[in-house]
Amino acid sequence: MSETPTADAAYASFVAANWERYLRVARLLTGDLHRGEELLQDSLVKLYVRWRRTSIRGDPHAYLRRTLINGNISWWRRWRREQLVAQPPDHQDPRAGAEPQDQVQHALRQLPPGQRAVVVLRHYEDLTEREVAALLRCTVGTVKSQNARALAKLRELLADYDITAKEVTR
């Protein structure tokens, strides 16, 4: 419970140190920077409510990641019908002459949120399969299969992905 100035200061320090990192994670999970920021703010509010317990006995990073993933899945369930019936002008198929990042964004959006979470945690956050399984509360086998399906789908969608202009340094 973040009741004391000390607890509030610790929470504020955590947010300041990790805001950018988790905003980028949320942006990948949602496929949209503004929606990602809303998701992150909502998740950080939930973290505040449980700050004392989480910061003392748990791992605030793990709690925040879980809340981001669950929040995104809940949002997707609630609004997918609206998302599916229309293709807003700013969400046109980017494969026709768009930036490579737009191709990746479009491909990520085609994944179900569970697979998208596995991809982001494994390949952006660089978590191990075991860590992803613990976070998603599923088995390592489920993580492997979800990751394999997601990669197969991405390979199909990004068959024309061009990285020749940039060198892969990672």
Q: Which parts of this chain interact with other proteins (CB under 8 A)? A: 1-3, 8, 11-12, 15-16, 19-20, 23-25, 27-28, 33-35, 38, 41-42, 44-51, 53-54, 57-58, 63, 70-71, 73-75, 77-79, 82, 100-101, 104-105, 108, 114, 119-120, 123-124, 126, 134, 136-138, 151, 154-155, 158-159, 161, 163, 166, 168-170
Name the minimum Å distance from CB 162 to other proteins: 11
Nearer to other proteins, 87 or 148 (CB): 148
CB 150 within 8 A of CB 118: yes
Q: In residues, how long is the chain?
A: 170
Give the residue from 69, 71, 72 showing the smallest Cα distance to 138. Answer: 69
Name the minimum Å distance from CB 96 to other proteins: 18
Inter-residue long-range contacts of 79-88, CB under 8 Å, 24+ positions, other chains counted = none
Name the minimum Å distance from CB 133 to other proteins: 12
Question: In sequence order, what DSSP letters do the residues of 74-108 get, joined into one string?
Answer: HHHHHHHHHHHH---GGG--TTTT--HHHHHHHHH
